[in-house]
C-alpha cells in the first residue's frame, strides 16, 4: 500500500504527450514525459508513479534506477511478464485489467462464431457470386471450457450463455464456480470449444500440447486470445491440418507469424494479428484507470489490479 498523498503532489512519468494531455486536469499531479529510451528529463528522480508505454519497450533496469522515489508502476496491458524482473523492492506493480478485456472478449466471441458458422467459406462464395447453402454447427448445448477465469473469460461466458452454451471457467486453483487445471483430463473430452485467456507463465507455457489437443473430441475449436506460447504450434498444426480440430488464433508462436508458415493456409484455422485490444476506445479506458488509481493514491485507498504472489 502506498503512502497517503492527499497533501502531496504526485509526480507521474507518462510515455507521451497524449497521456500528459489526458491527465493534465488531475489535481496535485506533476507530469513528466519519458519513455526510458533517451537521457532522463530534469526532475525524473521525483517520479512516484510510472505509467508504462503500451506495446512499447520495457524500461531498462538503468531507467528504473533513475526513479529512486518510484512507488507504483502502472501497466495498460493485462500481461505483466516482461516487467516482473524490473520492479524494485517496495514498488507496486498494477496491470491494465479491464482496459482491453471487453474488446478482447468481443474478438474471442467473433472469432469463435466465424469458425463455428463457417463464415470464411460464405465470404469466398460471395466473392465468386455463388449461392451455396451450408450446414454448420451452433452453440446450443455446447460445452465450452474457458481457461483463465479473469476479466476476458468472464465476459466471454456472459456473452455465450444466451446462445445455450454451457460454460466452465478453469483456473490454476479451484474455487466457487471455477474448476481447477487439474480437472482438465476429465473436462477436455467433452469440450466442443476451448477459449484461452490466461497469462503466459512457466506453468502455462506449452499447456496446450499434443496430449491436450488429442483429448479434445473431433470437431472441437481452440480459440487463443491470450499468448501464443501457451499453445504448442506444431501440435496444433498437426491436428488442424488433419481437419480434426479448428482454431481461431489472435496470437501465435512465433509472433509475428512468418508469411510462409503453414498455419496461414490451413482451411480450419483463422488468424488475426494480435488485435484483441486493438479498438479505438482502449486509450480512454486506460486513462480512466489511471485517473482512478491517482484518486486512490490521494485518498490513501487500496489500488486496483495489484499483481501479487505467484503471477
- Which residues have CB under 8 Å from 308's CB, separation 6+? none
Chain centroid to Cα 133, Å, comes to: 36
Please tell me the predicted confidence (pLDDT) of residue 311: 57
At 14, give phi and psi (nearest 5°): -120, 160
Say which residue the cell 465470404 belongs to: 123
Establish whether 274 is a catalytic residue.
yes
DSSP-derived 3-state class of residue 306: strand
| Residue closest to 122 by CA, chosen among 264, 270, 272, 249 | 270
DSSP E strands, 15-130: 29-33, 49-51, 72-74, 92-94
d(CA 230, CA 207) in angstroms, rounded, equals 6
pTM flag (> 0.75)? yes
d(CA 12, CA 251) in angstroms, rounded, equals 32
Active-site position among 86, 179, 192, 274: 274
Q: Is 200 in contact with 79 (CB distance < 8 Å)?
A: yes
Q: What angle do CA 99, 104, 108 make, to 5 degrees?
A: 165
Chain centroid to Cα 88, Å, comes to: 24
Q: How confident is the model over 83-113, as pLDDT tens digits?
A: 999 999 999 999 999 999 999 999 999 999 9
Active-site position among 71, 100, 227, 285: 227
d(CA 236, CA 226) in angstroms, rounded, equals 15
Q: Is 246 in contact with 213 (CB distance < 8 Å)?
A: no
Q: Is 271 in contact with 262 (CB distance < 8 Å)?
A: no
All CATH 3.40.50.720 domain ranges of the chain, comma separated, are 10-99+280-299, 101-271
Establish whether 20 is a catalytic residue.
no
Please tell me the predicted confidence (pLDDT) of residue 310: 60
Q: Which segments of the chain have a pLDDT < 50? A: 1-7
Q: What is the CATH number of domain 10-99+280-299?
A: 3.40.50.720
d(CA 187, CA 189) in angstroms, rounded, equals 6
- Which residues have CB under 8 Å from 295's CB, separation 6+? 301
Q: How confident is the model over 72-82, as pLDDT tens digits?
A: 999 999 888 88
CATH topology of domain 101-271: Rossmann fold (3.40.50)
What separation in angstroms does the CA of 141 have from each of 164, 184, 195, 213, 245? Answer: 5, 19, 16, 21, 19
Amino acid at each position: 500500500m502506498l503512502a497517503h498523498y492527499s497533501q502531496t503532489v504526485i509526480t507521474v512519468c507518462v510515455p507521451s504527450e497524449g497521456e500528459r494531455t489526458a491527465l493534465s486536469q488531475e489535481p496535485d499531479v506533476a507530469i513528466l514525459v519519458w519513455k526510458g529510451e533517451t537521457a532522463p528529463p530534469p526532475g525524473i528522480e521525483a517520479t512516484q508513479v510510472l505509467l508504462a508505454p503500451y506495446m512499447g519497450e520495457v524500461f531498462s533496469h538503468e531507467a528504473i534506477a533513475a526513479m529512486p522515489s518510484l512507488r507504483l508502476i502502472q501497466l495498460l496491458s493485462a500481461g505483466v511478464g516482461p516487467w516482473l524482473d524490473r520492479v524494485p523492492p517496495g514498488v507496486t506493480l498494477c496491470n491494465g485489467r479491464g482496459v482491453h478485456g471487453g474488446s478482447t472478449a468481443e474478438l474471442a466471441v467473433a472469432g469463435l462464431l466465424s469458425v463455428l458458422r463457417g463464415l470464411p467459406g460464405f465470404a469466398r462464395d460471395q466473392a465468386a457470386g455463388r449461392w451455396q447453402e451450408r450446414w454448420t454447427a451452433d452453440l446450443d448445448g455446447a460445452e465450452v471450457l474457458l481457461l483463465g477465469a479473469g476479466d476476458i473469460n468472464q465476459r466471454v461466458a456472459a456473452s455465450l450463455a444466451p446462445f445455450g452454451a454451457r460454460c466452465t471457467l478453469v483456473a490454476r486453483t479451484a474455487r466457487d464456480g471455477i474448476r481447477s487445471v487439474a480437472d482438465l483430463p476429465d473436462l477436455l473430452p467433452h469440450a466442443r470449444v476451448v477459449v484461452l485467456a490466461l497469462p503466459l507463465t512457466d506453468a502455462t507455457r506449452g499447456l496446450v500440447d499434443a496430449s491436450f489437443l488429442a483429448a479434445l473430441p473431433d470437431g472441437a475449436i481452440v480459440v487463443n486470445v491470450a499468448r501464443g506460447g501457451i499453445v504448442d504450434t506444431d501440435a496444433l498444426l498437426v491436428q488442424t491440418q488433419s481437419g480434426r480440430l479448428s482454431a481461431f488464433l489472435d496470437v501465435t508462436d512465433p509472433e509475428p507469424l512468418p508469411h510462409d508458415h503453414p498455419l496461414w493456409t490451413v482451411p480450419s484455422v483463422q488468424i488475426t494479428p494480435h488485435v484483441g485490444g486493438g479498438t479505438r476506445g482502449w486509450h480512454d479506458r486506460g486513462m480512466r484507470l489511471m485517473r482512478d488509481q491517482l484518486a486512490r493514491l490521494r485518498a490513501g485507498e487500496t489500488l486496483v489490479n495489484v499483481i501479487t504472489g505467484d503471477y
